[in-house]
């Protein structure tokens, strides 16, 4: 993975109200921290190509993509739609988001529209498209893209969006101050999108994403749920469910620092850490009050947790994440926070591929320099000025969305830790009760192979995925597709 590719993994959970002195040391949310017919010859047998019916608005034709003409792709793909659309109907609107819409190849998947967002902030959704859950896969070490049999278009219509402004192929000056601004601009984009593609408006939305999208998605869904009567009368946008993996929902203390010592001890041998280093982390955990914090994880909870979400500063000695990663890098030449234990990565083709002029032309884009993660802040002031964490929005979303909320986590993710998810969940009150009443324990099997564990109560599902890091769909594609189908109501866990 390139340096820019890791920017999303260097920022991630910048707390809104907590600013540790390490990756968060420049302030809260600061940068750089953050129909169906026989498959034609040459197309993989697993999925039939979907013959698209034209959209009723002639303007949609300008966004049509001959997907099979994508450079280096030597198999047939169904047609898709891509390009730039403004975030408002105002004349001369220069702020535009890039989208790439892929219809599903399965009849049973045509009911919903799933929107995928990567995090950062400032990392392109095309990372997810090309290296996690898209119909093609182009990973480090590959000479060319390959067909992805576990691509999510085999189960649902997919819409990949570069947002906020300043991310990927999006265009225009950064103008957002916080997550509410991002949600407002995203809602404006959706209105323009449905004007061009009205047939998709009737499909309930599933918002899926990872990392910093754990902040984006709840705010966007909240904005849609609280649309005015006039907005609803004009376009009745509905949200079915949220699906977020390895996401930011709470403070850096909860998602990173407090759980780090236990994670370090569990993976001590793999990471070549000394016993003295583990003991140092554990001593600091106790002196910083993190032991008392973690002791509150009970099933059912004994009461409201005293999470440090109103702390605006983490002292240097309590920034356990940076200390842990420093030691890991010193002991492991190829240490990557996104997945413990993986070897040295080969050159990443991602930047090169989407910087090609023929790719950009095919996607109806002007020539530009593309990077998977932007090198500048997507926020007008250089930092996210949001006043609350996205976790504050989750209870209402769980209660109101028909498909609820699913949080899932790769247990080898060293950047955002699964125990932070458990802490966050146990402090939420939804459906009339606080937290899970039972500890997650149900095995998740694929065939006879145990791939993780899961638990669901009152519309909130939590999944831990084994042998997966920060990018679960890349590390465990079959499990990821299974979880998606669960959210879609097409399969169980």
In a domain, 267, yes or no: no
Q: Is 413 a known active-site residue? A: yes
Print the SS3 string covering the chain. CCCHHHHHHHHCCCCCCCCECCCCCCCCCECCCCCECCCCCCCCCCCCCECCCCCCCHHHHHHEECHHHCCCCCCCCCCEEEEEEECCCCCCCCCEEEEEEECCCCHHHCCCEEEEECCCCCECCHHHHHHHHCCEECCCCCCCCEECCCCHHHCCEEEEEECCCCCCCCECCCCECCHHHHHHHHHHHHHHHHHHCHHHCCCCEEEEEEECHHHHHHHHHHHHHCCCHHHHHHCCCCEEEEEEEEECCCCHHHHHHCCHHHHHHHCHHHHCCCHHHHHHHHHHHHHCCHHHHHCCCCCCCCCCCCCCCCCCCECHHHCHHHHHHHHHHHHCCCCCCCCCCCCCCCCCCHHHHHHCHHHHHHCCCCCCCCCCECCCCCECCCECCCCCCHHHHHHHHHHHCCCCEEEEEECCCCCCCHHHHHHHHHCCEECCEECCCCCCCEEEEECCEEEEEEEEECCEEEEEECCCCCCHHHHCHHHHHHHHHHHHCCCCC
The residues pairing with 158 across neighbouring beta strands, listed in sequence order, are 102, 114
Number of domain units in the chain: 1
The predicted structure's pLDDT at residue 50? 58
pTM of the predicted structure, to 2 decimals: 0.90
Give the Cα separation of 458 and 95 in Å (integer).
Answer: 40
Residue 24 has pLDDT above 80, yes or no: no
Domain that holds residue 384: 82-249+350-488
Catalytic residue among 105, 211, 250, 251: 211
Per residue in 90-118, pLDDT tens? Answer: 999 999 999 999 999 998 889 999 999 99
In a domain, 326, yes or no: no
Q: How confident is the model at residue 51 (pLDDT cuts 50, 70, 90)?
A: low
In a domain, 288, yes or no: no
Residue 67 has pLDDT above 90, yes or no: yes
Residue 21 has pLDDT above 80, yes or no: no
Q: What is the mean pLDDT of residues 155-164?
A: 98
In a domain, 12, yes or no: no
In a domain, 447, yes or no: yes
In a domain, 157, yes or no: yes
In a domain, 483, yes or no: yes
The predicted structure's pLDDT at residue 387? 87
Lowest-pLDDT range, 200-204, 232-236, 341-345?
341-345
Catalytic residue among 413, 421, 455, 475: 413
In a domain, 58, yes or no: no
**Average model confidence (pLDDT) across the chain:** 89
Catalytic residue among 112, 240, 257, 470: 470
Q: What is the mean pLDDT of residues 439-468?
A: 98
Q: Is 211 a known active-site residue? A: yes
Q: Looking at residue 425, which CATH number applies to its domain?
A: 3.40.50.1820
Q: How many residues does the chain have?
A: 493
Q: Is 369 a known active-site residue? A: no
Give the Cα separation of 482 and 466 in Å (integer).
Answer: 14
């Amino acid at each position: 993975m390139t340096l820019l590719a890791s920017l999303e993994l260097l920022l991630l959970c910048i707390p809104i109200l907590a600013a540790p002195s390490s990756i968060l040391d420049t302030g809260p949310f600061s940068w750089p921290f953050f129909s169906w017919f026989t498959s034609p010859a040459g197309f993989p047998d697993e999925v039939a190509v979907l013959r698209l019916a034209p959209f009723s608005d002639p303007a949609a034709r300008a966004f049509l993509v001959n997907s099979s003409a994508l450079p280096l792709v030597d198999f047939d793909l169904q047609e898709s739609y891509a390009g730039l659309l403004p975030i408002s109907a105002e004349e001369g609107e220069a702020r535009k988001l890039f989208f790439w819409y892929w219809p599903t190849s399965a009849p049973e998947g045509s009911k919903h529209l799933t929107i995928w967002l990567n995090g950062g902030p400032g990392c392109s959704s095309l990372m997810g498209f090309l290296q996690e859950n898209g119909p093609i896969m182009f990973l480090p070490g590959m000479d060319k893209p390959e067909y992805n049999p576990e691509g999510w278009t085999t189960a649902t219509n997919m819409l990949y969006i570069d947002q906020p402004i300043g991310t990927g192929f999006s265009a225009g000056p950064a103008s957002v101050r916080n997550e509410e601004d991002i949600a407002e601009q995203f809602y404006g984009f959706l209105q323009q999108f449905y004007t061009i593609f009205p047939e998709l408006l009737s499909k309930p939305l599933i918002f899926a994403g990872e990392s910093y999208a754990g902040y984006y998605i709840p705010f966007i869904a909240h904005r849609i749920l609280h649309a005015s009567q006039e907005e609803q009368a004009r376009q009745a946008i509905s949200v079915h469910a949220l699906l977020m993996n390895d996401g930011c929902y709470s403070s850096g203390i909860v998602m990173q620092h407090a759980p780090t010592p236990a994670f370090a001890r569990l993976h001590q041998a793999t990471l070549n850490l000394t016993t003295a280093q583990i003991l140092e982390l554990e001593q600091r955990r106790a002196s910083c009050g993190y032991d008392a914090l973690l002791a509150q994880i009970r099933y059912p909870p004994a009461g409201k947790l005293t999470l440090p979400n109103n702390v605006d500063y983490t002292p240097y000695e309590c920034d356990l994440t940076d200390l842990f990663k420093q030691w890991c890098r010193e002991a492991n030449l190829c240490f990557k926070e996104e997945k413990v234990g993986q070897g040295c990565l080969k050159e990443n083709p991602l930047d090169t591929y989407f910087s090609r002029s023929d790719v950009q032309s095919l996607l109806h884009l002007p020539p530009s320099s593309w990077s998977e993660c932007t090198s500048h802040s997507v926020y007008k002031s250089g930092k996210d000025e949001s006043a609350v964490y996205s976790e504050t929005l989750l209870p209402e979303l769980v209660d109101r969305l028909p498909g609820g909320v699913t949080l899932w986590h790769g247990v080898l993710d060293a950047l955002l830790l699964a125990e932070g998810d458990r802490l966050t969940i146990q402090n939420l009150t939804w459906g009339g009760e606080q937290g899970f009443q039972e500890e997650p324990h149900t095995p998740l099997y694929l065939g006879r192979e145990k791939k993780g564990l899961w638990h669901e109560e009152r519309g909130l599902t939590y999944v831990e995925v084994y042998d997966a890091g920060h990018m679960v769909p890349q590390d465990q594609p079959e499990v990821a597709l299974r979880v998606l189908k669960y959210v879609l109501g097409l399969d169980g866990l």
